[in-house]
Amino acid sequence: MLRLIFKRLSLVLVVNSRASPFSHGLFVSNFFLRPMSEISSSLTDPQNLTSYLRNSCGLSQKSAISVSKKLLIENPEKAGTVLELMRTHGLTQIHIEKIIRTRPALLLVDLEHKLRPNMELFESLGFSGASLGKVLIKEPRLLHSDLVDTIDFFKAQGFSDKQLAMIIIKLPTLLLFNTTKVFKPKLDFFRSMGFTDEDVAKILSQCPYILRRGLGNHIMPSVEVLKRVLGTNEDVLKVIKVGYYILDDNLERNLVPNMSIFKSYGVPEPYILRSFVLHPRTLLLRPGHVTEILAEVVKLGFDPNTRLFVLAFSSMALQSKTLWEKKLEAYKSFGLSEDQVYSAFRLQPMFMITSVKKIKKVMNFFMTKVSIEPSEICRYPILLLYSLEKRIIPRCTVLQLLMSNGFMKEDVKLFSYLTMTEEKFVENLVMKYQNVLPDIVKAHKGNIEFQGFAGIV
């Protein structure tokens, strides 16, 4: 009787799966309700294998037909275990479909010596579900490679789990390379330059693309260009730490021509080099784009013989024209004219690198909490570069405390106190009054809420 019920149930499921392979978003496969021996023999038939790939892996009819011509599944039970292991690690049917469609041989992978250890390794690095699926869709070959040895190599070189995860997310293909032949010589070269193990791990986890570059035909020549341009090994190390992506760029194509363009404008070389060390990305732009920005800087009235000239260039080069326009609109929303914004830009070019969100937050604070006109703020554009929470508000709170306790008049020059160096501010105000006004230390640390004040010039 049970056999009769099972046969009827199987027949219903077969008919339903032909009519609609989905039921409430879940695959229903008649293969899972049949004896394994029957499935095994049936999969030698390409038509049955196509149905198996559609029902078990979610492949489309076209993809299933294509895969069935290249794949011979002699052990469906093993293939089913592979799929089940993927599901237990959080991979969805959509993930599995994309992975198997790209790499159908994974259904035949060595389960105990390759697939399971690799899946557990990914889990130990923090990958599961969506994050694991994203990586494996990008590079499914990882599942039948010797990942354990590769990860052990990087860990022995000082890379943390977090840094390894960053490398995998950005460039998972790197795990397929020969570590001894491809990676070790490059890591040794970086150390010979003076980088510590910590430096190397940080740089390469931030920009793993460097590791796919040739040592002799790209990395070493790039370092030689940097030495030729910067002059000292110390500056070379410094600029690579700031702009780790430099070694992935074509320096002969971008940096060298851009240096010449700056010099043609009469910009002193020390200013150019200083700008490059602080903001490497700006001199790695296309030479044509650099020329366009420099023309704008000249048009705004900056003198090429001043440091402000290269700062104005950097400020404009670090953002798109669209973002620049958004920032202009943000300032104008507080009643400032475009001329007033550019006037502030000429005083402190880097104030335009402040985010739109911060512009609105800082301007709103000064207008509502301190009752200062936007035009006054434009006289001190450096304020937009300071931290509102760590510097501006704590200092305002210190001044408020001193005024309310009669230690300071209300006609103080607020901007002079906000732009004062930290050392001088602490010495002249915090340390001077901390014995008679203990709360001033709390105020300076940001532990007292600023209530606002009026009457300050």
Rg of the chain on CA atoms, in Å: 32
Q: What Å distances lie between residue 227 and 99, 129, 221, CA to CA?
A: 45, 46, 10
What are the backbone dihedrals phi and psi of residue 22, each rounded to the nearest 5 degrees, phi first?
A: -115, 150
Q: Residue length, the chain?
A: 457
What amino acid occupies position 448? I
List, as one string, the DSSP characters of 131-162: HHHHHHHH-GGGGGS-HHHHHHHHHHTT--HH
Maximum mean pLDDT: which of 28-37, 53-62, 245-254? 245-254
Q: Which region among 63-77, 189-203, 208-222 has the lowest average model confidence (pLDDT)?
A: 63-77
> Of 176, 171, 98, whose CA–CA distance to 133 is shortest?
98
Q: Are 223 and 247 in contact (CB under 8 A)?
A: yes
Average pLDDT, the chain: 86
**3.40.109.10, 1.25.70.10, 3.30.110.40, 3.30.1330.30: CATH of 44-144:** 1.25.70.10
Going 84 to 85 to 88 to 92, the CA torsion angle's sign is negative
Burial 27-60 (b: 16+ CB within 10 A, else e): bbbbbeebeeeebeebbeeeeebbbbbbbbbbbe
Give mean pLDDT, residues 213-228. Answer: 95
Cβ atoms within 10 Å, residue 26: 7
Dist. CA 129–CA 144, nearest whole Å: 19
Which pLDDT value is given to residue 21? 35
What is the pTM for the complete model shown? 0.74
Question: Residue 23 pairs with which residues in a beta bridge?
Answer: 26
Domain boundaries, the chain: 44-144, 146-244, 249-318, 319-385, 391-445
Q: Are 315 and 346 in contact (CB under 8 A)?
A: no
Which pLDDT value is given to residue 195? 95
pLDDT in tens, 372-430: 899 999 999 999 999 999 999 999 999 999 998 888 887 778 899 999 999 999 999 99
